[in-house]
């Protein structure tokens, strides 16, 4: 009975929320693991769920939060579907895990990367590829997987955007600025024909995430930066943070990043507090009351 309910729950996640295969596998593992501790999930009561706190005592806060979230969503589904009359999930352990702020490169550090990449792009095809990768990571905020697996057909020749297939198979249109368009055009000329990906691998298929990571760290080292500070995700963070600092709307940023939940985007509101105070003083209707 419980396995049927779990199957129905996972089917709902796939159909209604577009959950990716890895996400569904993680939910299945978490629910199966909980069932091994407390028995039939459909018959479990609050006392049963409270026992999970000791069973999960050695887990990292993030893992504990994920497992509890899986069960809360499962029981919410069961109540909605009439499989249970009550929701015992309030008895689940609730870790107080603070989400760490993302590492972000300064404007000066980003400029150092681009200065070197632009110089090398004029000299070799590998340099042209590196500049195109850098432009799309920092200029458009693509995830590493989205970038390396970008198909040629997703890049219109004359349109200032690319079509990205993100997490859960969700598609979004991502603007590509003039600089990135120029870098892409330069790389596509140097790339030549063959393959269906913008960034092909010599062995077939596309450039790997690991290779992208290595290329960025090598560039950082040559640019005089600490390579430990530079990664595809750090450049995505820099894209988001610098856009927000420039006045971008949080909802627009959510769309550009492909976040399903605005709460994920809100992590980027860690901008300079002095700038926010100055913004309130300059733009709020009461900001200049004292000077009247």
Which residues are known to be catalytic? 143, 167, 233, 236, 259, 268
The tokens for 28 are 């299945």
Place of tokens 């596509």: 188
What sign for the dihedral angle of Cα 125, 127, 130, 134? negative
Are the C-beta atoms of 232 and 99 separated by less than 8 Å?
A: no
Contacts for 256 with CB less than 8 Å, ≥ 6 apart? 140, 141, 172, 174, 175, 240, 243
CA separation, residue 1 to residues 27, 35, 39, 73, 87 (Å) = 17, 12, 12, 18, 17
The tokens for 262 are 């605005």
Are the C-beta atoms of 98 and 58 separated by less than 8 Å?
A: no
Contacts for 280 with CB less than 8 Å, ≥ 6 apart? 287
The tokens for 242 are 């610098």
């Amino acid at each position: 009975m419980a396995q049927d309910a779990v199957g129905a729950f996972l089917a709902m996640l796939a159909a209604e929320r577009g959950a990716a295969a890895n996400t569904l596998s993680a939910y299945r593992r978490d629910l199966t693991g909980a069932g091994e501790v407390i028995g039939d999930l459909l018959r479990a009561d609050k006392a049963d769920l409270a026992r999970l706190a000791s069973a999960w005592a050695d887990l990292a806060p993030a893992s504990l939060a994920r497992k509890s979230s899986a069960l809360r969503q499962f029981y919410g589904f069961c109540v909605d579907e009439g499989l249970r009359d009550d929701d015992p999930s309030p008895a689940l352990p609730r870790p107080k895990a603070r989400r760490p702020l993302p590492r972000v490169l300064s404007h000066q550090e980003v400029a150092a990367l681009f200065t070197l990449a632009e110089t090398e792009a004029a000299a070799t095809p590998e340099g042209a590829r590196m500049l195109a990768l850098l432009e799309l990571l920092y200029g458009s905020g693509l995830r590493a997987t989205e970038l390396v697996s970008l198909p040629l057909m997703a890049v219109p020749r004359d349109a200032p955007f690319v079509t990205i297939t993100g997490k859960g198979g969700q598609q979004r249109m991502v603007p590509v600025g003039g600089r990135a368009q120029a870098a892409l055009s330069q790389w596509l000329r140097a790339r030549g024909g063959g393959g269906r990906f913008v960034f092909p691998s010599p062995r077939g298929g596309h450039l790997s995430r690991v290779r992208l990571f290595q290329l960025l760290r090598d560039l950082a080292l040559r640019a005089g930066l600490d390579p430990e500070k530079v990664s595809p995700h750090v450049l995505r963070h820099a894209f988001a943070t610098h856009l927000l600092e420039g006045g971008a709307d949080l909802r627009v940023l959510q769309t550009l990043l492909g976040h399903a939940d605005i709460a994920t985007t809100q992590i980027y509101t860690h901008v300079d507090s002095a700038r926010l105070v100055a913004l309130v003083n300059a733009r709020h209707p009461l900001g200049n009351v004292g000077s009247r």
